[in-house]
Structure 1
Amino acid sequence: MKVNILASGSSGNCIALTSGGSTILVDAGVAKTKIEKRLLEVGIVPINVEAIFITHAHKDHTKGLPLANKYKIPVYAGEEEWKDIQGVDEELRKSLPAILNDGIEYTFQVIAFKTHHDAYDPLGYVVHDLYNDLRCSICLDTGKVDDEMLEAMKDSNVYIIESNHEPRMVEASSYPNSVKARIISDVGHLSNQQTAETLYKLVQGRGEQIYLTHLSSNNNMPALAEMTTVRELAKKGFIKDKHYKLEVIT
């Protein structure tokens, strides 16, 4: 499974997963033209995108959905989340779960799990690459991680998870108190420590690939996000680049 994170952060999010000749996108949060350009830059022809999976309807996850209409790509999202998703042709709106066929054999099985965010029906996804027997868990925009989420994500080979903020930086920021409260709430975003503790429970030291994503440009630093997770996993005796790999996406 090839992972290309085309955009990450409050300005937009878009992840491409490829196996064989098939590609799926999780979120389409930057302009359609930018997605097209970034796909081509990593060797993916947009017409080969088989499906788009939306975590929730906020604009930094849906801005580029006109891509779906242009290339007739089916779009999957939580049933209630369609209340806030505009501009997708009716015949392209799909329900979950999904198994996608690339014309030769089944390539991707995608299972959704509930997350905790201020949206109608926010979701995370576990993508099973049936061609290579690999699992990728994607967990973005959630204020907490519960036992059901951990159960869904366990035994993955790849973890793409937000490490959004450092609470002390949020408190010291110039944001209005209402925004600060939202960020650190149970329907906001994961802090560096929350993310690290989640990965502590999930990572088995079998060479898993971790991507820390959706970092706040104002309330976090890449080195701080990385250090927090590395320090937490060290409690299990796991060493970066020996027991797991880690990349911070900005």
Structure 2
Amino acid sequence: MSLRFSVLASGSTGNAIYVESDNQRLLIDAGLSGKKIEQCFEKININPKDLNGILVTHEHSDHIKGVGILARRYNLPIYANEKTWKAMQSSLGTIPIEQRFHFETGKTKSFGNMEVESFGVSHDAAEPMFFTFAHGDRKLAVITDTGYVSERIKGVTKEANTFIFESNHDMDMLRMGKYPWSVKRRILGDEGHVSNVDAGLALADILTDSPANIYLAHLSLDNNMKDLARMTVHQTLEEKGYEIGKQVKLFDTDPLIPTALVGV
């Protein structure tokens, strides 16, 4: 396969995704400790010293906790937009100037034979953005940490073969749960997180007649369950006419266990 990936960790406690082509190896976010991310890499038989860089989506701790230590330990360049750099630099520790790179929202960069396009999302961070990764005729779209899926996002990700897609919470579990109302309001708002139902509805607008794999990501530890997220998205897509299991396949992600390293 020309483009491969593993969701190393996904959830409220930390997020990291690995993407590789034949000549590039990139880490998207590092929201766990350096040690835990190294353990995740060991499970998929990848050595972090072979990485070509870290792409940062936004400055929240569940996305940057291990960025500084990994960058220093393996001499890795870090790519983020200007506002994210300003918001996260005090959390990363000392990063030499030669390891600091800007990747602005809405731009496309070439990493070896991989084309990476960034796009903005609606989240309560300085300037959050996510990415698509393309090589040859394969395309991977990564979309989490957004309160809603805009028409712009739908357009950028339309032709993807594989999606790592936010399915953060079940709305009933969230509403009836232990969180204070201020936190519930944040999660449910336009700068919060996408629910299971909204994930299914957004995907129904994005998917084409081509086969697609969907990895449901960033599930809340307190307000969701894997089976519930998968069942809800399955039902929503089926109601929109998609054949689950053949045309569209759904996969889980986990806060601690990496998904297999597979082709897009």
Instruction: Quickly name the TM-score band, shorter chain normalised.
Output: over 0.9
- 2:131 alignment partner, one of 116, 125, 129: 125
Q: CA offset at residue 213 of structure 1?
A: 0.5
The 5 A counterparts of 1:76-91 are: 76-86=79-89, 87=93, 88-91=95-98
**What is the match of residue 94 of structure 1?**
101
Q: CA offset at residue 125 of structure 1?
A: 0.5
> Does 1:110 pair with 2:113?
no
CA distance 1:168–1:236, shift in 2 (3 Å): closer
Q: 1:229 and 1:246 mapped to 2: Cα distance?
A: 9
Provide, for residues 29-69 of structure 1, a one-character-per-residue CA deviation record: whole Å limited to 9, x for no partner. 01111112211220211121112111110010001111012
Is the contact between residue 6 and residue 35 of structure 1 (CA under 8 Å) also seen in structure 2?
yes
Q: CA offset at residue 21 of structure 1?
A: 4.5
Q: 2:96 and 2:82 mapped to 1: Cα distance?
A: 15
- 2:223 alignment partner, one of 207, 213, 219: 219
Is the contact between residue 55 and residue 140 of structure 1 (CA under 8 Å) also seen in structure 2?
no
The 5 A counterparts of 1:203-214 are: 203-214=207-218
Q: SS of 1:85's equivalent?
A: helix
Q: SS of 1:168's equivalent?
A: helix
Q: CA offset at residue 113 of structure 1?
A: 0.3
**What is the match of residue 160 of structure 2?**
156
Q: 1:23 and 1:32 mapped to 2: Cα distance?
A: 17
Normalised by the size of structure 2, how large is the TM-score? 0.88
**What is the match of residue 2 of structure 1?**
4
Provide, for residues 222-248 of structure 1, a one-character-per-residue CA deviation record: whole Å limited to 9, x for no partner. 111111111122134322221021102
Q: 1:13 and 1:155 mapped to 2: Cα distance?
A: 24
Is the contact between residue 10 and residue 216 of structure 1 (CA under 8 Å) also seen in structure 2?
yes
Residue 6 of structure 2 aligns with an amino acid whose one-letter code is N
**What is the match of residue 48 of structure 1?**
50
> Does 1:143 pair with 2:147?
yes
Q: 1:127 and 1:67 mapped to 2: Cα distance?
A: 22
Q: SS of 1:118's equivalent?
A: coil
Cα RMSD (Å): 1.3
Q: SS of 1:109's equivalent?
A: strand
Provide, for residues 95-135 of structure 1, a one-character-per-residue CA deviation record: whole Å limited to 9, x for no partner. 2232112xxxxx21111100000001000111112xx4311
Tell me how many residue pairs correspond in the alignment.
Answer: 243
> Does 1:13 pair with 2:15?
yes
Q: 2:187 and 2:96 mapped to 1: Cα distance?
A: 32
Highest RCO, 1 vs 2 (Cα 8 Å, sep ≥ 6): 2
Q: CA offset at residue 20 of structure 1?
A: 1.8
Q: SS of 2:8's equivalent?
A: strand
- 1:248 alignment partner, one of 245, 252, 258: 252
Is the contact between residue 205 and residue 244 of structure 1 (CA under 8 Å) also seen in structure 2?
no
**What is the match of residue 184 of structure 2?**
180
Residue 121 of structure 1 aligns with an amino acid whose one-letter code is E
Q: 1:45 and 1:243 mapped to 2: Cα distance?
A: 34
> Does 1:201 pair with 2:208?
no
Normalised by the size of structure 1, how large is the TM-score? 0.93
Is the contact between residue 155 and residue 206 of structure 2 (CA under 8 Å) also seen in structure 1?
no
Structure 2: segments with no counterpart, 5+ residues: 255-264
- Higher mean alpha-carbon deviation, 239-248 vs 57-66, is at 239-248
Structure 1: segments with no counterpart, 5+ residues: 102-106
Q: SS of 1:43's equivalent?
A: coil
